[in-house]
Structure formats: structure tokens, C-alpha cells
Structure 1
Amino acid sequence: MNFIGLQVNCDEEKREFIIAELSLLAFDAFEENEKGVFASCDLAEWNEEEVKEICNRYELEYSFEEIEKVNWNEEWEKNYDPVIVDDQCIVRATFHEPKPEFPYEIIITPKMSFGTGHHATTNQVLKYQLSLDHEGKKVLDVGCGTGALAIMAHKRGAQEIAAVDIDEWCIENSSENFALNNCENILLKLGGIEQIQPDDHFDFIFANINKNVLIDQIKDYAHRLVNGGTLVLSGFYAWDIPDLVREGRKYGLEHEDQSELENWAMLAMRKK
């Protein structure tokens, strides 16, 4: 499926508002640039009238184009370097030399999926995982993408791991990456959090998606956490943290930790 790439020209003060407005539509990926905000959505969900209404309201100019779905495997191999996380973990491709000096090595072939470790969100969650005791724990990765977070959980000694994603490409890619990393104990399902039974409880839940989906589903995450369990969220900006903390408190989740990298954030909350 192809995408629509939308460029909204605006000054820095309006970028946060435009991202918030577009995220209520079908847009699920955003990037700030020198002109303003670039956003993308599936072609099938594109509605120019909705975008026009927003831009007219803010008196902004916009442009858009249809973009072919990129084969990230080909693009990745052109410029990809291994990713080092906190000097403890290396995320590399099959065409890179093994680095046994790192305690943790994750082998990823991204195909069409997100989550190679290069993006600030994935990088921060991987780093935080290094501080968590996974030994014998039960873990859920929501919106698994390449499966990198589930793979890290496996390598850190998690006993049971489940991973879900609504994108078929991500499921196929995660399955291949699990095999590359000899992860045999991961239950992989196509779909969202609804694929996990409400009475199935986890010690850790990782969800690297976007703010609106996280706020909408945080109740479901909290319900599936054991008491004392930790929810780790990413895929949003640093200024979104208060909104997520506020929503989490409604369901017994208390702020535990956070980090920021290139304006992107990671938030950890513990269930009381």
C-alpha cells in the first residue's frame, strides 16, 4: 500500500498544534523540518478536505504527494551502520561482522518495518530494558515492528514473551528477526492489544507507537499488568509526557522514570 506525504508549512510555535491536529486524523508518522511539519498516512485513509480545514483554520499552506512504500531493507543497506546502545548492546544487520565484545547482540533485517534502533524512541526503550531485570519475567511488546524489543527481552532472560502488531509486514519481519536471533519462546500475533486476553498479565509491557494510540489504549495496558509491573511507552514527544502520566494515573499507574533524546521521549510507569 502506498502513502500520502503531507508537508504543512508553519513556524515553530504552531508545529505542536499541527501535529496534534493531524494525529487525530489518519496520520501516524511525523517529522519536523525547516519548513514545518511532514506527516504521512495510508493512501486509503487520505482525506484532503480534513487537511484543508485544519490548514485554513491556522492560515497555513500545504502540499502533498503519493509515495510508494519503501523497501527499508534496500534503503537500510545503502547507509546503515550498526547501532550501539549504552555500550552494552549492538543492533546490526546480517551483513555486518559479529561483535562478541558486546553482551547483547540483536540482528535485524527491517524490510518495511520500524524499529532498527536508529530512531530515538527504539534506542531509548532498548537502553531502559538494560536496566530492568527480565529474568523469568513475562513480557508483552505492543506494536512490535521489527521485534527488537521482544528480542532484547529474550536475551535478557524473559520466560514468556508475546508480541503483536497490526501490520502484516511487521509480523513477517518480526518472525524472520526472531529466527535470526534464535528466539523460540515468542508468541507473535497479527493485531492490536485486543489479541491479548484481558486476564493474561505481564511483568513488563513495551509499547512504542504514538501518543494518541497510547492514550486510547493505556487502560488496556494497565489491566494486563501484574501489580508492581512496569509499562514502558515511547513514540511521542517530550512535551507529551504530562498527558500520558495524567492518563496513566486514572488506571493506577505511577510515574517511575523518563528520558528524552532529540525531542522524543520514553516514559516508564509502575502499576500500584
Structure 2
Amino acid sequence: MDFVTLKVTCDPVLTDVLIAELFEAGFDSFQEFDDGFEGSCEQSRFDEEKVEILFKEFPNVSFTIKEQEKVNWNEEWEKNYNPITVGNRCIVRASFHTPQPNFEYEIIVTPKMSFGTGHHATTYQVLDYQMNLDHAGKKVLDVGTGTGILAIMAAKRRANTIVATDIDDWCIENSEENFALNSVQDVTLIKGEINEVNPSDFDIVIANINKNVLLDQMSDYADRLKSEGQLILSGFYESDIADLESEANKSGLFRIHSTTRDKWAMLALEKRSV
């Protein structure tokens, strides 16, 4: 078995709360329905005890757990996936959709089981911010690259050097495929944690992961940023901004911009001398 799907039936008012809790517990793909939602994660990340403890707090919520073997995710995805637009400048589409050359940025993505098609509010906000951030000639690190979509945007924004990391085999395979679809070359793709990347002088570090990982790795991001470099964070709720900003300040990282969308947040910080 390769991944676990959790089917949750609940009052719609609880959906955001439960998704946030499950996101923290390792679930990284969600689909909402009128009567609840489904969440998926790799079997190796699934902690059944944590899930049981969580749902004891919500006695009126029911759930079922299903283990599934590796499927043709592209085929399943093709049945439901629609292109998305970020502002009026970027479109994220699949290869089977009609090309849209009228957009300034066109990104082609085939996500398999990876997180990051642009549909989720976190990815959307980072893409939107990237389109207004100077990447030209700069060195960019994308931590937890997923589908590679944010690294692809960095390349389209003319970054000079791009390093992308992920701990997941699916994501590494998927990123390579998506880089090829978008004619993005010369990306250094690393399977592993951020400590596989030597401390360096990156101009931009991007991490769209989740709150706990971001808090744990904050000093690692700072160590890899040059002075006045920018750290772009997402994967957390608006209510988490204060905690992340407080931890960032300890490493000389200070907020310069933030956005929210559907209760999810994006935080941009600058590295300063302390």
C-alpha cells in the first residue's frame, strides 16, 4: 500500500478546522464536498493514533480510513482538473488543456500525488507574490518543491540559479516531469531535507510546507539567505502568522509583506543584521 485516504463526514463549518489539524498531522492533499472532505497522505506519514485522538474531540464527526495502492493519478486527476488563473497574468493548466498564450506566464503541471497545482490558496498566494518579486539573475531555493511549480515560476522570472528539494519520491519524479513540460533546465533537484543544501547566499528562499516544519527549520532558512535576501513562507493559517513571525525574528528575519486567502496565509520576510 502506498497512501492513505481519510473520508470525513462533517458539518461544513468544521471543514477548515479539521483540514488544518490533519495538515499538521501530515495529510497534504484535500478535496472538499458538500458533506465533508477527503484527505490523503503517504502511508509512511500516516499516524492512526493521532487521527483517532483528533476525532475524539469531535464526536459528531464520522470518518473512514482507506489504504490504497499506487494508482494512475494522472488519469484520475484529468477527470476533475480545471485550469486556474492567478490574477490576470498567470495560468496553471495541464498539457491536455488548450494553450493560453495571452497570459504572461503559462505553467503546465501534471501533479501525480504531489501538492501544488495552484488550486490551493497557499500555492496561489506564493505564485502571486513571485510575479511581483525581482528574480532576474538571482539564486533561488525552493524547499519542499512538490510539483515544482514555484521553481518553475522562478525560472520564468529569470532566476539565474535554482535549487529545489523534497523528501518525497513522488515529488522528485513529478518535479522532473513538470520541469521538462515547461522547458525549465538547469534546476538542481535534491531528494532530502534542507540540511542537504549547504548554507549559502541565496537571494530568495521559498518554503510552502506547514507551520510545524516552518518553525523547526526557520534558522535553516536564515542560514541559507544572504543579507537582505527574502524568505517566502506559506502552508499555514492566518492565525499562525504571529507565531511564525516571532520565530523568524530570532533569526534576523522581519516581515515585509503578507497576504491571506481563504484563511490561509503567505508571509514574506527580509534577512537583516541583528
TM-score (norm 2): 0.86
Paired residues of 1:72 and 1:113 also in contact (CA < 8 A)? no
User: Who is 2:83 aligned against?
Assistant: 82
Q: Which residue identity does 1:266 align to in structure 2?
A: M
Rounded Cα–Cα distance in structure 2 between residues aligned with 1:120 and 1:70: 26
Q: Secondary structure at the match of 1:98?
A: coil
Shift of 1:112: 2.0
Q: Percent identity?
A: 53
Q: Which moved more, 1:99-108 or 1:5-14?
A: 5-14
TM alignment of 1:1-272, pairs within 5 A? 1-5=2-6, 7=8, 12=13, 16=17, 25-28=25-28, 39-56=39-56, 62-68=62-68, 71-198=72-199, 200-272=200-272
Rounded Cα–Cα distance in structure 2 between residues aligned with 1:64 and 1:225: 43
Residue deviations 1:159-217 (CA, integer Å, cap 9, x gap): 0000011111111111111112111121011112112012x221111111111111111
Rounded Cα–Cα distance in structure 1 between residues aligned with 2:16 and 2:83: 32
Rounded Cα–Cα distance in structure 2 between residues aligned with 1:63 and 1:88: 40
Q: Which moved more, 1:133-142 or 1:189-198?
A: 189-198
Q: Which moved more, 1:3-12 or 1:153-162?
A: 3-12
Shift of 1:254: 0.5
Q: Secondary structure at the match of 1:157?
A: coil
TM-score (norm 1): 0.87
Alignment CA distance shift 1:60-1:222 (3 Å): farther
Q: Secondary structure at the match of 1:260?
A: strand
Rounded Cα–Cα distance in structure 2 between residues aligned with 1:88 and 1:247: 33
Paired residues of 2:138 and 2:160 also in contact (CA < 8 A)? yes
Paired residues of 1:28 and 1:210 also in contact (CA < 8 A)? no
Rounded Cα–Cα distance in structure 2 between residues aligned with 1:49 and 1:99: 46
Alignment CA distance shift 1:60-1:193 (3 Å): farther
Q: Secondary structure at the match of 1:197?
A: coil
Alignment CA distance shift 1:46-1:82 (3 Å): closer
Q: What RMSD over aligned residues (CA atoms) do the two structures have, in Å?
A: 2.7
Q: Secondary structure at the match of 1:132?
A: coil
Alignment CA distance shift 1:136-1:24 (3 Å): closer
Paired residues of 2:5 and 2:38 also in contact (CA < 8 A)? no
Unaligned runs of 5+ in 2: none
